[in-house]
């Protein structure tokens, strides 16, 4: 049975991928990596893609997994690609979904401005409650640390053309056609940037992971990784 690692997105937590893990467990040996500072995983440091790369590598070492398959949702896909670019051969294949690649000062400012805890509490209280459900009393800290990370990514994008070019394994880039956060052009840029990249557009899918049918997502993963 092949090994499959699941990586969650920004503002997310491991529990968001629990149902997906359950549906895939008959086909793969599945593990979820929860990045530090998210969900139930503590952290006293700032957020960065490099920290999350280290979290991923630490888990792989603990599991003694060699070249597993990986599915990364949103930021999770970014982390998987960054790790593979730094340590070629870490994964057998990579599958991303809804991963944003267009990081510059303007895009980072735009995304980070939406992560103000006070504004979310006032304007979108249901979303604030959802974040509290995921992260407990640390949900506001998750927002502010993520906003700071985004601003840093805007200044120094971790995935450059050179980094992508070092990725020699097969990479599938999935994107929902109704994703308003991640556009087609940036996904194509990444797919063309790696040596063996393929873009897969999924009709009707949006960006938020909780709006993607778990059974459909599991079926796509099983088909691509059979």
Cβ-contact 47, 111 below 8 angstroms: no
Which domains does the chain show, CATH number per domain? 3-102+158-224 (3.40.50.1820)
CA distance 90 to 84: 6
CA distance 97 to 76: 9
Task: Give the per-residue SS3 of 83-108.
Answer: HHHHCCCCCCEEEEECCCCCCCHHHH
In this prediction, residue 134 carries a pLDDT of: 97
In this prediction, residue 190 carries a pLDDT of: 98
Cβ-contact 161, 169 below 8 angstroms: no
pTM: 0.98
- List the structure tokens of 135: 């992260």
In this prediction, residue 226 carries a pLDDT of: 84
How many CB atoms sit inside 10 A of residue 26's CB?
A: 10
Instruction: Output helix, strand, coil percentages for the chain, rounded to the nearest 5.
Output: 50, 15, 35
pLDDT in tens, the chain (226 residues): 999 999 999 999 999 999 999 999 999 999 999 999 999 998 989 999 999 999 999 999 999 999 999 999 999 999 999 999 999 999 999 999 999 999 999 999 999 999 999 999 999 999 999 999 999 999 999 999 999 999 999 999 999 999 999 999 999 999 999 999 999 999 999 999 999 999 999 999 999 999 999 999 999 999 999 8
Distances in Å between the Cα of 125 and the Cα atoms of 13, 118, 221 are: 19, 10, 33
Rounded to 5°, the CA angle 220-179-73 comes to 50
Q: Is 17 helix (H, G, I), strand (E, B) or coil?
A: helix
């Amino acid at each position: 049975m092949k090994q499959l690692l699941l990586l969650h997105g920004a503002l997310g937590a491991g529990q968001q991928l629990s149902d997906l893990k359950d549906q895939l467990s008959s086909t793969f040996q599945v593990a979820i990596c929860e990045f530090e500072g998210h969900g139930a995983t503590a952290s006293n440091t700032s957020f960065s893609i490099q920290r999350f790369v280290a979290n991923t590598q630490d888990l792989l070492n603990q599991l003694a997994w060699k070249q597993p398959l990986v599915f990364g949702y949103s930021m999770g896909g970014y982390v998987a690609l960054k790790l593979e670019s730094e340590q070629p051969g870490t994964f057998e294949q990579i599958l991303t979904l809804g991963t944003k690649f267009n990081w510059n000062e303007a895009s980072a400012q735009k995304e980070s401005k939406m992560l103000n805890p006070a504004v979310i509490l006032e304007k979108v209280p249901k979303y604030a409650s959802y974040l509290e459900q995921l992260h407990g009393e640390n949900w506001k800290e998750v927002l502010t640390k993520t906003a700071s990370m985004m601003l840093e990514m805007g200044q120094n994008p971790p995935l450059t053309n050179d980094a992508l070019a070092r990725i020699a394994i097969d990479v599938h880039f999935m994107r929902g056609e109704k994703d308003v956060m991640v556009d087609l052009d940036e996904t194509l840029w990444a797919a063309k940037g790696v040596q063996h990249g393929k873009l897969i557009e999924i009709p009707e899918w949006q960006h938020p992971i909780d709006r993607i049918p778990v059974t459909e997502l599991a079926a796509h993963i099983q088909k691509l990784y059979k």
